[in-house]
């Protein structure tokens, strides 16, 4: 007969009501306060759990029982002294409960938290650290900054957006010209989350500086540093980086992940996007099949004031603009002139190479082709530092964070400035006069 559910398991399933005796549960690191717009339009706050998983210890003395544990959806990480331990999402806890097996479910404690950067890369942020930073920034920037979730990742993590707009918070509409900075569509490109985070910090820390104050007073700035948190957590889990690019979709062939930068629904499934689930550039079964891309889509569609988008990636030191799915230039000639002028202007500051995405290679379903093609948003991809795999590739070391941010601050401020009318960049005499505004804004 199956043993009855242990009382300790029941208690542990409601951690808020029953604090763990050893106080190892780090409430602050696991939760974050976000703003939500209620249906009535007012702003409410809620505390969200940033890591939905629990650590479970199941009495499982034989492999048959352990298979049942695994079938319930627990990812077994350890088998010791007749117990199988591992991570479980709420649905797996429910399934485990139905097995009647005796188990304990514990909120993640730091000592049960192997997913983190190695010591030498500790300056990079894992998901909990990123969430805590964004939360702190929202508090520090009260009156200007708000933090909200644009949706959930596949594994249930909130996709956090920090917004800088003194007149609108959370998901509220705003008439101000809007810009969105995103990072970490690709899991292993960790630097791509650090740069938008530092940008948020810079803007909040310097919010009283006249040039920054003027810039922020006239714009609606969104910063979404980690579009693919599940992939990030996996990439840093264990004793080595996994070089993981995609999200954590379990594909039918047993492989993990859809390439979020092949999953957007503009010319989806054309060149440079694989149909093989095991491929690093797997496009997914359908356009916008993934919750992460669906959330970005819904967010962008909800904010019709967005005029500029910058998606940070690594590496190669490039400034890319549409198209990416075809070698043909975008048909809107004045817009192309504006793209070229903006890319050239920014390249003079960060030293990157400006080019259409398709010059790099043809790839369909990327963020910027969709944002430009479907929404008319001036959209750039920055491939950050370093230049090559041999000079650090996806793991350039913590020292790259500050220098890469310094190189890209001026381009970021320029894009914020240009958001009122990016097309003006195509008119040379006006572009020159606007440049001085931004130069002075540093
Ligand atoms: O391939 C990508 O998704 C991007 N490069 S990365 O090394 N970060 O993976 C570049 C996307 C540029 N877009 C197109 N070439 N369409
Ligand atoms: Zn990338």
* Neighbour order of strands in the sheet with 158-164: 145-152, 158-164, 220-224, 178-182, 306-314, 378-384, 318-321, 353-356
Separation of alpha carbons 227 and 185, rounded Å? 5
Q: 198-201: which pairs have CB atoms within 8 A and are 24 or more residues apart?
A: 198/401, 198/402, 198/405, 199/223, 199/405, 199/409, 199/412, 200/134, 200/137, 200/145, 200/162, 200/164, 200/225, 201/133, 201/137
In testing the pocket of ligand 1, which one of 231, 326, 363 has its CB within 8 Å of the most ligand atoms? Answer: 363
Closest Cα partner for 316 from 265, 264, 384? 384
pLDDT of residue 170: 95
Instruction: Check if 267 has its Cβ closer than 6 Å to any atom of ligand 1.
Output: no
Tokens 């918070």 belong to residue: 169
Burial pattern 340-366, b for ≥16 Cβ within 10 A else e, equals: bbbbebbbebbebbbebbbebebbbbb
pLDDT of residue 389: 82
List the beta strands (DSSP E) in 249-316: 306-314
Residue with the smallest CA separation from ligand 1 atom 12 is 357
Q: How far is the CA of 418 from the centre of ligand 2 (A)?
A: 25
pLDDT by 10s per residue, the chain, length 442: 233 323 233 223 322 222 222 222 334 444 555 665 655 656 566 555 455 667 788 999 988 898 888 888 887 667 678 888 877 878 888 899 999 999 988 765 433 345 688 888 999 999 999 999 999 999 999 999 999 999 999 999 999 999 999 999 999 999 999 999 999 999 999 999 999 999 999 999 999 999 999 999 999 999 999 999 999 999 998 878 888 999 999 999 999 999 999 999 999 999 999 999 999 999 999 999 999 999 999 999 999 999 999 999 999 999 999 999 999 999 999 999 999 999 999 999 999 999 999 999 999 999 999 999 999 999 999 999 998 887 888 899 999 999 999 999 999 999 999 999 999 999 866 444 444 444 333 2
Measured at the CA of 155, the angle between CA 118 and CA 47, to 5 degrees, comes to 90
Tokens 């703003």 belong to residue: 35
Ligand 1 atom, smallest distance to 324 CA: 16
- Token pair recorded at residue 268: 């989806």
* Contact indicator for 420, 414 with CB cutoff of 8 Å: no
pLDDT of residue 87: 74
Instruction: Check if 361 has its Cβ closer than 6 Å to any atom of ligand 1.
Output: yes
Ligand closest to Cα of 280 equals 1
Instruction: Check if 360 has its Cβ closer than 6 Å to any atom of ligand 1.
Output: yes
Alpha helices (H) in 159-310, listed in sequence order: 191-205, 210-217, 229-235, 291-302
Phi, psi (degrees; rounded to nearest 5) at 193: -95, -30
> pTM for this one?
0.76
Separation of alpha carbons 177 and 306, rounded Å? 6
Separation of alpha carbons 227 and 190, rounded Å? 11
* Contact indicator for 380, 309 with CB cutoff of 8 Å: yes
Q: Is 26 exposed, middle or buried (0-12, 13-18, 19+ CB in 10 A)?
A: middle
Separation of alpha carbons 314 and 387, rounded Å? 9
Instruction: Check if 153 has its Cβ closer than 6 Å to any atom of ligand 1.
Output: no
pLDDT of residue 74: 81
Closest Cα partner for 266 from 187, 377, 181, 158? 377
383 is catalytic: yes
In testing the pocket of ligand 1, which one of 381, 384, 394 has its CB within 8 Å of the most ligand atoms? Answer: 381
The alpha-carbon radius of gyration of the chain (Å, integer) is 23
- Token pair recorded at residue 185: 């569509």
Instruction: Give per-residue pLDDT as tens, 12-55.
Output: 332 222 222 222 233 444 455 566 565 565 656 655 545 566 77
Closest Cα partner for 268 from 373, 375, 365? 365
Alpha helices (H) in 13-143, listed in sequence order: 27-30, 63-71, 90-99, 127-140
Phi, psi (degrees; rounded to nearest 5) at 26: -95, 85
Instruction: Check if 261 has its Cβ closer than 6 Å to any atom of ligand 1.
Output: yes
* Contact indicator for 189, 314 with CB cutoff of 8 Å: yes
């Amino acid at each position: 007969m199956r043993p009855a559910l242990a009382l300790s398991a029941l208690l542990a399933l409601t951690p808020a009501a029953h604090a763990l005796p050893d106080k190892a549960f780090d409430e602050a690191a696991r939760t974050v306060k976000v703003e939500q717009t209620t249906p009535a339009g007012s702003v409410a706050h809620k505390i969200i759990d940033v890591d939905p998983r629990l650590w479970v210890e199941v009495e499982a003395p034989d492999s048959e029982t352990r298979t049942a544990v695994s079938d319930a959806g627990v990812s077994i990480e350890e088998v010791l002294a007749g117990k199988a331990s591992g991570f479980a999402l709420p649905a797996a806890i429910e399934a485990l409960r139905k097995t009647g097996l005796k188990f304990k479910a514990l909120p993640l404690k730091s000592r049960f938290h192997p997913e983190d950067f190695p010591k030498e890369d500790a300056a990079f942020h894992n998901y909990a650290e990123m969430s805590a930073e964004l939360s702190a920034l929202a508090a520090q920037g009260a009156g200007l900054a708000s933090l909200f979730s644009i949706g959930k990742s596949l594994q249930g993590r909130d996709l956090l957006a920090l917004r800088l707009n003194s007149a609108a918070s959370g998901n509220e509409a705003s008439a101000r010209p809007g810009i969105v900075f995103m990072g970490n569509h690709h899991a292993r490109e960790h630097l791509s989350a650090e740069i938008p985070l530092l940008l948020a910090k810079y803007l909040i820390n310097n919010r009283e500086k006249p040039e920054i104050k003027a810039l922020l007073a006239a714009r609606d700035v969104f910063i979404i540093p980690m579009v693919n948190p599940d992939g990030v957590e996996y990439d840093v889990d264990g004793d080595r980086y996994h070089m993981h690019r995609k999200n954590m979709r379990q594909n039918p062939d047993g492989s993990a992940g859809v390439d979020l930068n092949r999953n957007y629904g503009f010319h989806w499934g054309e060149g440079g996007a694989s149909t093989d689930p095991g491929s690093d550039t797997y496009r997914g079964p359908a356009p916008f099949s993934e919750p992460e891309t669906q959330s970005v889509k819904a967010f962008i569609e909800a904010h019709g004031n967005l005029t500029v988008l910058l998606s940070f990636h690594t590496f190669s030191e490039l400034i890319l603009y549409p198209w990416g799915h075809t070698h043909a230039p975008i048909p809107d000639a004045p817009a192309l002139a504006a793209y070229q002028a903006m890319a050239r202007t920014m390249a003079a500051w960060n030293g990157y190479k400006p080019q259409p995405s398709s010059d790099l290679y043809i790839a369909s379903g990327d963020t910027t082709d969709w944002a430009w093609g479907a929404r008319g948003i001036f959209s750039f991809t920055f491939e950050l530092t370093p230049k090559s795999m041999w000079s650090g590739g996806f793991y350039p070391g913590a020292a790259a964070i500050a220098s890469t941010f310094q190189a890209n601050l001026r381009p970021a401020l320029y894009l914020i400035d240009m958001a009122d009318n990016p097309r003006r960049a195509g008119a040379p005499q006006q572009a020159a006069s606007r440049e001085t505004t931004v130069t002075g804004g540093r």
